[in-house]
Structure 1
Amino acid sequence: MNIQTTTKFDGPGLDALSPVGRETVQDRIYRQLRIALIQARFDAGEIFLAGDVAQRMSVSSMPVREALARLVSERALEAMPNRRVRVPLLTLERARDIAQARTLIESELAARAISNLTNDDIERLEMLTAEYEDTSDAQDVATLNHAFHFHLYEAAGSSVFMPIVESLWMQAGPYVRAAAKLHKPLTDTAATLHHRGILEAIQAGDKARVASELTADISQSFAILERADPDFWNEGEGGAS
Structure 2
Amino acid sequence: MPDGSRSQSGRAGGGGITPVLRETLHDRVYAELRRSLVHGVFVSGQMLRIQDLAEKLNTSTMPVREALARLISEQALEALPNRSVRVPVITREKLDDLARARVLIEGEVTARAMDRLGPGDFARLKDLTRSCEAAFTVRNEDNIRRATELNHAFHDHIYRAAGSPVLQPMIESLWLQSGPYVHAAAFLHDETSDPAGTHHHWELIKALENGDRKGAVTALTRDITRAFSLLRNKLDAEEADARTRQHG
TM tier relative to shorter chain:
0.7 to 0.9
Post-superposition offset of 1:113 = 0.3
Percent identity reads 45
Which residue in the other structure is 1:9 paired with?
A: none
CA contact (8 A) 1:91 1:233 kept: no
- Please list, as runs of the form range in 1=range in 2, the aligned pairs for 1:40-79 lying within 5 A after superposition: 40-79=40-79
Aligned length: 222
Query: Is 1:31 matched up with 2:13?
Result: no
Post-superposition offset of 1:172 = 1.3
Query: Is 1:132 matched up with 2:138?
Result: no
Question: Which of 118, 141, 144 is the matching residue for 2:147?
Answer: 141
- Please list, as runs of the form range in 1=range in 2, the aligned pairs for 1:93-172 lying within 5 A after superposition: 93-136=93-136, 137-172=143-178
Which residue in the other structure is 1:173 paired with?
A: 179
CA contact (8 A) 1:50 1:61 kept: yes
- Give the letter for the 1:16 counterpart: G
CA distance in 1, matches of 2:77, 2:196: 30
Q: What stretches of structure 1 of length at least 5 have no aligned partner?
A: 1-14, 237-241
Q: Helix, strand or coil for the counterpart of 1:20?
A: coil
CA contact (8 A) 2:38 2:180 kept: no
Check 1:204–1:187 CA distance in 2 against 1; reply closer, same or farther (3 A cut): farther
CA contact (8 A) 1:133 1:187 kept: no
Q: Deviations over 1:18-57 (max 9, x none)?
A: 2111111111111111111112222211111111100111
CA-atom RMSD in angstroms: 2.1
- What TM-score does the superposition give when structure 1 sets the normalisation length? 0.85
Q: What stretches of structure 2 of length at least 5 have no aligned partner?
A: 1-14, 137-142, 243-248
Which residue in the other structure is 2:215 paired with?
A: 209
- What TM-score does the superposition give when structure 2 sets the normalisation length? 0.83
CA distance in 1, matches of 2:54, 2:157: 31
Post-superposition offset of 1:233 = 5.3
CA distance in 2, matches of 1:212, 1:147: 20
Which residue in the other structure is 1:8 paired with?
A: none
Post-superposition offset of 1:119 = 2.1
CA contact (8 A) 1:180 1:186 kept: no
Runs of 4+ in 1 over 6 A off after TM superposition: 185-188
